[in-house]
């Protein structure tokens, strides 16, 4: 699918109904569970040249998931985590997210997730499918997932969600461009996967009230940030814990404690 080719942007009645039902599922989360623990990954490959600290090796991901499993924790998609929390079944579940939709998710992350009986959410950029991370000026060029890779991830039980179209700071966009990033990316992913994506991830983790409102209006059930600004909470401003190659047992303990204390 070309980045210059857009599917119809108007929702059908069935799509609108689905969007309302997704929002209804997410609505109790803000009161049922204030801070579900959600881990943030990016690329799973060789971390030798990684100026942004966003790459973990498959072996390190394996160690981190073994650490979780040894403590009775299971990694799941954000959609599954929020549904479980809303139903009072969230204990023992941790959200696993992979930002930017790197192509190495299929070979680097999926085998490790399967080994530990975990699932995850992959946030992809429909406007850059099959491209690379051109938004990183100092980082190595890393290929991004294409449509075939997305279908492979879906078949393995991965939740596919939107990271916007092109990886831009949404808080700097005007209203028309913001609608493109939220609505158009949702429609493109629906074409690829055959289903409406439930989740949205704010590029760079930046979000404000206007952006969160646009994501909700576009029909998403939740939005993931990193550290949302004070006063912005609920299912459209979910905080996450960044995980890096440096995170082994002691650091994971500290990050889990920080999350429980509301620091991360």
> What is the residue whose two structure tokens read 């992350």?
109
Provide the residue range defining the domain that includes 73.
38-261
SS3 state at 110: helix
pLDDT at position 28 over 50:
no
pLDDT at position 38 over 80:
yes
Indicate whether 29 belongs to any domain: no
pLDDT at position 30 over 50:
no
Give backbone dihedrals phi and psi of 44, rounded to 5 degrees, phi first. Answer: -120, 95
CA-CA-CA-CA torsion sign (70, 52, 222, 97): negative
pLDDT at 260 (0 to 100)? 87
pLDDT at position 118 over 90:
yes
The CATH number that applies at residue 140 is 3.20.20.370
What is the pairing mode between strands 121-124 and 159-162?
Answer: parallel
Indicate whether 236 belongs to any domain: yes
SS3 state at 46: coil
Indicate whether 13 belongs to any domain: no
pLDDT at 151 (0 to 100)? 96
Indicate whether 14 belongs to any domain: no
Q: How many domains would you assign to the chain?
A: 1
Indicate whether 132 belongs to any domain: yes
Phi-psi region of 88 (alpha: psi -120 to 50; beta: other; left: phi over 0): left
pLDDT at 264 (0 to 100)? 54
Mean pLDDT of 60-69: 98
pLDDT at 34 (0 to 100)? 59
Indicate whether 32 belongs to any domain: no
Indicate whether 85 belongs to any domain: yes
Mean pLDDT of 175-186: 98
pTM for this predicted structure = 0.87
Mean pLDDT of 30-48: 82
**Taking all residues of the chain, what is their mean pLDDT, rounded to a whole number?**
88
Reported residue count of the chain is: 264
Q: Which two tokens stand for residue 103?
A: 């192509």
pLDDT at position 157 over 80:
yes
Mean pLDDT of 165-189: 98
pLDDT at position 133 over 50:
yes
Mean pLDDT of 97-109: 98
Residue 35 pLDDT class (50, 70, 90 cuts): confident
Helix (H) or strand (E) holding 186: helix 185-193
Residue 23 pLDDT class (50, 70, 90 cuts): very low
pLDDT at position 29 over 80:
no
Indicate whether 44 belongs to any domain: yes
> For 94, what's the count of Cα atoms within 13 Å in the CB-facing half-sphere?
24
């Amino acid at each position: 699918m070309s980045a210059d080719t857009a599917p119809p942007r108007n929702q059908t009645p069935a799509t609108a109904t689905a969007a309302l039902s997704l929002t209804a599922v997410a609505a109790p989360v803000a009161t049922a569970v204030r801070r579900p623990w959600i881990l943030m990954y990016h690329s799973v490959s060789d971390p030798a040249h990684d100026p942004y600290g966003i790459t973990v090796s498959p072996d390190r991901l394996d160690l981190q998931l073994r650490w979780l499993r040894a403590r009775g924790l299971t990694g799941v998609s954000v959609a599954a985590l929020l549904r479980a929390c809303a139903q009072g079944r969230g204990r023992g579940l941790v959200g696993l997210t992979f930002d930017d939709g790197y192509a190495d998710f299929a070979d680097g992350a999926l085998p490790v997730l399967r080994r530990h009986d975990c699932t995850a959410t992959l946030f992809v950029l429909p406007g850059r499918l099959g491209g690379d991370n051109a938004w990183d000026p100092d980082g190595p060029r890393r290929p991004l997932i294409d449509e075939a890779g997305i279908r492979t991830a879906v078949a393995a039980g991965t939740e596919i969600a939107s990271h916007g179209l092109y990886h831009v700071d949404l808080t700097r966009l005007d209203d028309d461009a913001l609608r493109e990033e939220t609505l158009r990316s949702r429609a493109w992913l629906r074409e690829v996967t055959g289903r409406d994506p439930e989740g949205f991830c704010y590029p760079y983790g930046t979000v404000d009230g206007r952006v969160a409102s646009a994501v909700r209006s576009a029909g998403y059930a939740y939005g993931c940030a990193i550290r949302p600004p004070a006063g912005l909470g609920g299912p459209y401003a979910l905080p996450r814990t960044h995980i890096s190659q440096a995170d082994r047992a002691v650091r994971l303990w500290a990050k889990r404690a920080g999350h429980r204390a509301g620091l991360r």
